Amino acid sequence: MGTRRAGRLFSYAVCIAFGLTLTAHSAAGAEHARLIIGKAAMGDWTSDAPGVRRKITVEDLPAPGSNMLAINPPRVVRRPADAQLRVPPGFKIDMYASGFRDPRFLLAAPNGDIFVTESRANQIKVLRDSKNTGKPDVTEIFTERDLNKPFGIAFYPPGDDPQFLYVANTDGVIRFPYRNGDLKARGQAEKLSAKLSGGAARLRSGGHWTRDIVFSPDGKKMYVSIGSRSNDSDNAAEAERARIFEFNPDGSGQKVYAWGIRNAVGIAFRPGSDELWMSTNERDELGEDLPPDYISSVKPGGFYGWPWFYIGNHVDPRHKGKHPELADKVIVPDVLVQSHSATLNLCFYTGDQFPAEYKGDIFAAFHGSWNRKKRTGYKIVRVPFDHSTGKAIGEYEDFVTGFVTPEGNVWGRPVGITIAKDGSLLFSEDGNGTIWQVSYRK
């Protein structure tokens, strides 16, 4: 939860195993295709394996403070030579690119280029596969002008012929003129009127700093998520935080779309609908298994509890007796995930390469815990939908695992995620600065 980092290692050298293919282990087979529920679902990385599903419900939540919170940041190490990522049977995983500094966000352009936001370096890069080999051979800096901890990026208008690339800086939104195939920004940044309260890299010195940005499918509205300034404060400094805002595409017409959301790091529209979804980091210091992070649809005008309540009308004991009039208004999220997993970006699977049952499901990147005795997170998960109803079934499934060494050290912390033009899944990790590609072997 949160965006605190400790012991981060940046690796700029191109890995000698750039083209290494890591195939699924037999351990990821049918014997692991099981559902874990209740307290057992609140496990750690040692129980992770592709195909393992977990379901956490409101009834499973422990009492506040029932287990002690530990400050246990990951020890980030270089990727071991024998590291093997695990994916489900039929899939393969390859390193796509390496040598990045803080690759926090990925976005596929209509022409197939992959845009990478390097937040700490204040750069946006473009990767291109000009030789149709399946791997990028061209890397260009699209822009490094007017960037301030950039995170979310989006093309506008939606569709195959965008005219702008929008960038969500920590303190506002800018846009650059763009045409399909541009490797460099073709003009100066235009600063929009959308105002955002800036954040800092560490929570206590300025709050959550990431901002995601998406447009409604019809292109009429822009949405920007902004996390809280604190862990659980309700003072005046939080007045414009812990919200998803709605704007007109020019940055005017700001209004609150949903609130009481501690840190919706990732937001995305479900394809074929006007339904916005979010990936949210919940608060700390209530226990190792409380409260759950969550992945959920966003109800217009909805209140999700922070800081006074969590997961429905559960009272945060640090705010006992405050705002009783809001208790029955708190929305319970669609999918609860293990507390402290730090679920960051998400995307819907829109490609045709994977088996049909994956179409329309969510993939999400779990950055991993820093404040739990038993490490959790550090993986890519799938959120299955009942496609007859368009609703999430309330479970999440391990899809890519293997970022934690047998000794408990961490070499990869998944962050950005997108669907490539060929239907493969791309995701970044900011422990060693690499991007990985998951493909289905037909």
pLDDT, tens digit (0-9, with 9 covering 90-100), for 302-332: 999 999 999 999 999 999 999 999 999 999 9
Greater confidence (2 vs 392) lies with: 392
pLDDT-above-70 percentage for the chain: 90
Greater confidence (118 vs 371) lies with: 118
Region 167-187 average pLDDT: 97
Phi-psi region of 163 (alpha: psi -120 to 50; beta: other; left: phi over 0): alpha
Say which amino acid occupies 285.
E
Could you give all domains of the chain from N- to C-terminal order, each with its CATH number?
A: 21-440 (2.120.10.30)
Residue 299 CA to residue 311 CA, distance in Å, equals 15
Could you tell me the pLDDT band of residue 173, with boundaries at 50, 70 and 90?
A: very high
Say which amino acid occupies 11.
S
3-class DSSP state of 396: strand
pLDDT at 351 over 80: yes
Q: What are phi and psi of 45, to 5 degrees?
A: -65, -20
CB of 55 closer than 8 Å to CB of 400: no
Least reliable range by pLDDT among 202-216, 245-259, 264-278: 202-216
pLDDT at 417 over 70: yes
Could you tell me the pLDDT band of residue 199, with boundaries at 50, 70 and 90?
A: low
Among 386, 330, 389, residue whose Cα is nearest residue 362: 386
Could you tell me the pLDDT band of residue 16, with boundaries at 50, 70 and 90?
A: very low
Residue 111 CA to residue 137 CA, distance in Å, equals 15
Among 176, 300, 151, residue whose Cα is nearest residue 226: 151
Tell me what pLDDT residue 372 has: 92
- Collect all residues with Cβ–Cβ distance below 8 Å to 343 and sequence separation of at least 6: 265, 266, 279, 280, 281, 293, 294, 295, 337, 364, 365, 366, 367, 377
Residue 366 CA to residue 357 CA, distance in Å, equals 22
**Is residue 317 exposed (0-12), middle (13-18) or buried (19+ Cβ within 10 Å)?**
exposed
pLDDT at 31 over 70: no
pLDDT tens-digit map of 150-163:
999 999 999 999 99
Residue found under tokens 């206590």: 204
Greater confidence (362 vs 69) lies with: 362
pTM of the model: 0.92
What is the Cα 62 distance to its own chain's centre? 26
Residue 3 CA to residue 422 CA, distance in Å, equals 32
**Is residue 272 exposed (0-12), middle (13-18) or buried (19+ Cβ within 10 Å)?**
exposed
Greater confidence (413 vs 1) lies with: 413
3-class DSSP state of 175: strand
Could you tell me the pLDDT band of residue 279, with boundaries at 50, 70 and 90?
A: very high
Could you tell me the pLDDT band of residue 200, with boundaries at 50, 70 and 90?
A: low
Tell me what pLDDT residue 140 has: 99
pLDDT at 341 over 70: yes
CB of 229 closer than 8 Å to CB of 202: no
pLDDT at 8 over 60: no
Classify residue 292 by its DSSP letter: P
pLDDT at 299 over 60: yes
pLDDT at 68 over 90: no
pLDDT tens-digit map of 80-89:
999 999 999 9
CB of 297 closer than 8 Å to CB of 279: no
Tell me what pLDDT residue 71 has: 87
Residue 384 CA to residue 139 CA, distance in Å, equals 34
Region 388-406 average pLDDT: 97
Tell me what pLDDT residue 206 has: 59
CB atoms within 10 A of CB 271: 12
Among 204, 19, 36, residue whose Cα is nearest residue 98: 19
CB atoms within 10 A of CB 108: 19
CB of 136 closer than 8 Å to CB of 100: no
Region 6-24 average pLDDT: 36
* Side-chain-side CA neighbours of residue 276 (13 Å): 26
CB of 365 closer than 8 Å to CB of 345: yes
pLDDT at 1 over 70: no
Tell me what pLDDT residue 271 has: 97
pLDDT tens-digit map of 93-145:
999 999 999 999 999 999 999 999 999 999 999 999 999 999 999 999 999 99
Tell me what pLDDT residue 24 has: 38
pLDDT at 69 over 90: no
Residue 64 CA to residue 150 CA, distance in Å, equals 35
Q: What are phi and psi of 420, to 5 degrees?
A: -75, 165
